[in-house]
């Protein structure tokens, strides 16, 4: 039959200790402060028990005998319970009073915060919105700055192209107008020159016809009579041949 021995366990941390002599070393090394607190608590409990025993022994009846009867012990226990209950009730009442004061203070603080928030909402800009709006404005400006620069230079380029196109069309128009004007002026001059020549020729013919001057030169051999009609016809033929 195998005998099972339960290992020793530390009462503070629950670690198993195999040897008895190692228990004191373990407690001294790792739980010295806790051991002091435990010893102090045990000493206080012992002092309370001694004090209670002394008080209980000093209680006496009317005839001077010591109080060791069960009824008196029961009465003393009931009195202690009543005293403890009364003190507990008073402590609970004080705690409830403090809790009510704290609750009223908390409610008044929440109402003040709500009123302050309402006052802030009536303003143009809520303080909690300043930082998000600043971030949004920075993001928009970072994205909008390149677009604005591109738009600016594109507008400038379009304006330059438009002005250059207008200047080119204007120069072409002026050149074409100049060419057309010179063409028509030349035609008008030619027509005017022909008209002047025709007028001069007709004037000369009219003068010769009215004055009766005989033609001279190579056309004089063809005229045997003074017929003016034949003379005019021959002059037209001669002018046509000359041209």
Q: Which residue has the higher pLDDT, 239 or 65?
A: 239
Neighbouring CB atoms inside 10 A of 34's CB total 13
Q: Give the pLDDT confidence score for residue 63 in this predicted structure.
A: 45
**pLDDT exceeds 60 at position 222:** no
Q: With beta carbons less than 8 A apart as the criterion, state whether 10 and 17 touch.
A: yes
CA 124, CA 200: separation in Å to the nearest integer? 97
**pLDDT exceeds 70 at position 156:** yes
Q: How far apart are the first and last CA of the chain?
A: 164
- Per residue in 76-125, pLDDT tens? 767 778 888 888 888 888 888 888 899 899 999 999 988 888 887 777 66
Phi first, then psi: give them for residue 72, nearest 5 degrees: -65, -35
Show the 3-state SS of the chain.
Answer: CCCCCCCEECCCCCCEECCCHHHHHHHHHHCHHHHHHHHHHHHHHHHHHHHHHHHHHHCECCCCCECCCHHHHHHHHHHHHHHHHHHHHHHHHHHHHHHHHHHHHHHHHHHHHHHHHHHHHCCCCCHHHHHHHHHHHHHHHHHHHHHHHHHHHHHHHHHHHHHHHHHHHHHHHHHHHHHHHHHHHHHHHHHHHHHHHHHHHHHHHHHHHHHCCCCCHHHHHHCCCCCHHHHHHHHHHHHHHHC
- Its pTM surpasses 0.85: no
**pLDDT exceeds 90 at position 35:** no
Q: Give the pLDDT confidence score for residue 153 in this predicted structure.
A: 93
Percent of the chain surpassing pLDDT 70: 57
């Amino acid at each position: 039959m195998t005998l099972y021995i339960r290992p020793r366990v530390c009462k503070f941390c629950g670690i198993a200790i195999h040897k008895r002599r190692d228990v004191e070393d373990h407690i001294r090394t790792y739980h010295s402060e806790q051991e002091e607190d435990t010893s102090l608590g045990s000493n206080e409990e012992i002092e309370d028990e001694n004090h209670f025993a002394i008080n209980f022994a000093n209680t006496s009846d009317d005839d001077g005998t010591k109080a060791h009867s069960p009824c008196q012990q029961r009465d003393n226990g009931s009195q202690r319970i009543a005293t403890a209950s009364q003190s507990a009730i008073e402590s609970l009442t004080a705690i409830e009073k403090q809790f009510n004061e704290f609750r009223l203070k908390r409610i008044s603080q929440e109402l003040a915060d709500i009123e302050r928030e309402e006052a802030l909402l009536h303003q143009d800009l809520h303080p909690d919105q300043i930082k998000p709006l600043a971030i949004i404005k920075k993001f928009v400006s970072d994205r909008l700055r390149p677009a604005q620069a591109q738009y600016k230079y594109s507008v400038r380029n379009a304006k330059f192209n438009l002005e250059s196109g207008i200047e080119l069309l204007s120069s072409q128009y002026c050149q074409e107008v100049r060419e057309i004007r010179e063409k028509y002026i030349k035609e008008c001059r030619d027509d005017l020159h022909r008209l002047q020549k025709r007028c001069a020729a007709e004037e000369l013919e009219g003068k010769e016809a009215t004055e009766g001057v005989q033609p001279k030169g190579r056309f004089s051999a063809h005229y045997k009579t003074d017929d003016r009609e034949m003379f005019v016809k021959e002059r037209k033929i001669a002018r046509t041949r000359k041209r």
